[in-house]
Structure 1
Amino acid sequence: MIIKVCGMREAENIREVEQCSMLNDQCSIDWMGFIFWPKSSRFVSEVPAYLPEHCQRVGVFVDASIGDIMSAVNNFALHFIQLHGQESPSYIIQLKSHLPVGIKIIKALNIATADDLPQTKPYEGIVDYFLFDTKGKCVGGNGEKFDWTVLDVYAGCTPFLLSGGIGPDDAERVLNFHHDKCIGIDLNSRFESAPALKNTEEIKRFFEELNKKRYE
């Protein structure tokens, strides 16, 4: 299971989160996200003094210009582009033509009911992953959950990550969700002491609960 921690900004906190992941031999943070939307309280306006060396880097954008995305790709050495706005399939095709080979695209889609799932269809074969998030939430994380059971009817070919208010007490909920296209989870605001400042003790506790409940 891929574990992605989003909304990072502070150099020392980035280092601490990365290190607490490396101390656990059964759970690890695979991807670390940086938010490039100026309206977010987790907006990254400059390159931190330390960037993760053992996690792949995800840039989160909302209806950004291709030029702005390319600037972040170069400055942060991004491995993934996560799109949270109204980006059309044609825009994504154009964006891909500018990206270095190997950078993958995640399209975030807001979900409340099964009626929201048909919005995935125009992006099939164009994006590499979906991220299913809470409908109506602000970009960058506000801790709101949605009912993951609506994803039972998702029949697309594109793998996805779960998001939407996952917190330290949700290990059992995560492990009880099963879908053959679900590849991981996205952690953000419910693991924070303040916006863009992750609580490493809460992350460690979550990992411990995942390990414990996995073998109960």
Structure 2
Amino acid sequence: MATLIKVCGMTEAENIRNVEQLGVDMIGFIFYPKSPRCLCEMPEYLPTHAKRVGVFVNENKENILMYADRFSLDYIQLHGTESPEYCRSLQSHGLRLIKVFSISHLKDLLATSSYNGLCDYYLFDTKTPCYGGSGNQFDWNLLYRYSGPTPFLLSGGINPYSAKSIKEFRHSRFAGIDLNSRFETAPGIKDTERIETFLRELKESSI
């Protein structure tokens, strides 16, 4: 099973380099000032092999275009209440998009239909009172009712012991996973050994 691996919320150059060397596919940088993982300044190293993903929450289009250019972002991840029209506008500038949907009930999946054709991926996360992840997992069984055309990433509470459940999850649009807080030693600093062990178990579990 080929699974995209995205590691999100990174801030420190050497940590970014070490995580990239594990062979992950995407590395995410959060440009939301209220996040404890907000990237406030340009790191001395940015990924050269992994795709660069910029994470934004209800940001104005001009700022996103500025960050996309400055950091050579490969994807824009939208974590707020951005409308389909907003996505279409960013898409018209040649940007590739990941739209986040917070899930707690089946009805939360209905919102995805308005974004069909506007995003390269959806990211399904656990619903929380505020923006950002909770570190908790939602009921993945809800996603078996998702029948849209857009591939999706799983997020929310994925931890070093999740390899088995990820392997058991089957969906024709399931593209990959998003790792963040459960693989940290501090906000924005990832535990490289923990990620490496998890990726090894994920690979072994698919044999």
TM-score of the two chains, using structure 2 as the length reference: 0.95
Distance 2:50 2:66 in 1: 20
Deviations 1:130-180 (A, max 9, x none): 000001165443311111010001010111010011011100011110000
Aligned to 1:143: 135
Aligned to 1:43: 38
Distance 1:141 1:42 in 2: 11
Q: Is the 8 A contact 2:126 2:133 kept in 1?
A: no
Distance 1:39 1:138 in 2: 10
Backbone CA RMSD of aligned residues: 1.2
Distance 1:173 1:122, change over 3 A: same
Distance 2:27 2:65 in 1: 18
Aligned to 2:29: 34
Aligned to 1:12: 14
Aligned to 1:124: 116
Quote the offset at 1:96 in angstroms.
Answer: 2.1
Quote the offset at 1:38 in angstroms.
Answer: 0.3
1:166 aligns with 2:168: no
1:68 aligns with 2:63: yes
Quote the offset at 1:207 in angstroms.
Answer: 1.2
Quote the offset at 1:104 in angstroms.
Answer: 1.0
- Percent identity, aligned pairs only, is 52
- Aligned ranges for residues 168-183 of structure 1 at < 5 Å? 168-183=160-175
Q: Is the 8 A contact 2:163 2:202 kept in 1?
A: yes
Distance 1:164 1:79, change over 3 A: same
Aligned to 2:76: 81
Quote the offset at 1:39 in angstroms.
Answer: 0.3
Deviations 1:173-204 (A, max 9, x none): 11110000010000000000000000001001
The alignment covers a number of residue pairs equal to 205
What residue identity is the alignment partner of 1:6?
C
Distance 1:140 1:52, change over 3 A: farther
Q: Which stretch of structure 1 is more off in the superposition, 185-194 or 122-131?
A: 122-131
What residue identity is the alignment partner of 1:186?
D
What residue identity is the alignment partner of 2:195?
I
What residue identity is the alignment partner of 1:15?
R
Distance 1:85 1:36, change over 3 A: same
SS at match of 2:5: strand
Q: Is the 8 A contact 2:126 2:134 kept in 1?
A: no
- Aligned ranges for residues 47-62 of structure 1 at < 5 Å? 47-62=42-57
Distance 1:181 1:119 in 2: 17
**Structure 1 unpaired stretches of 5+:** 22-27
Distance 2:96 2:199 in 1: 26
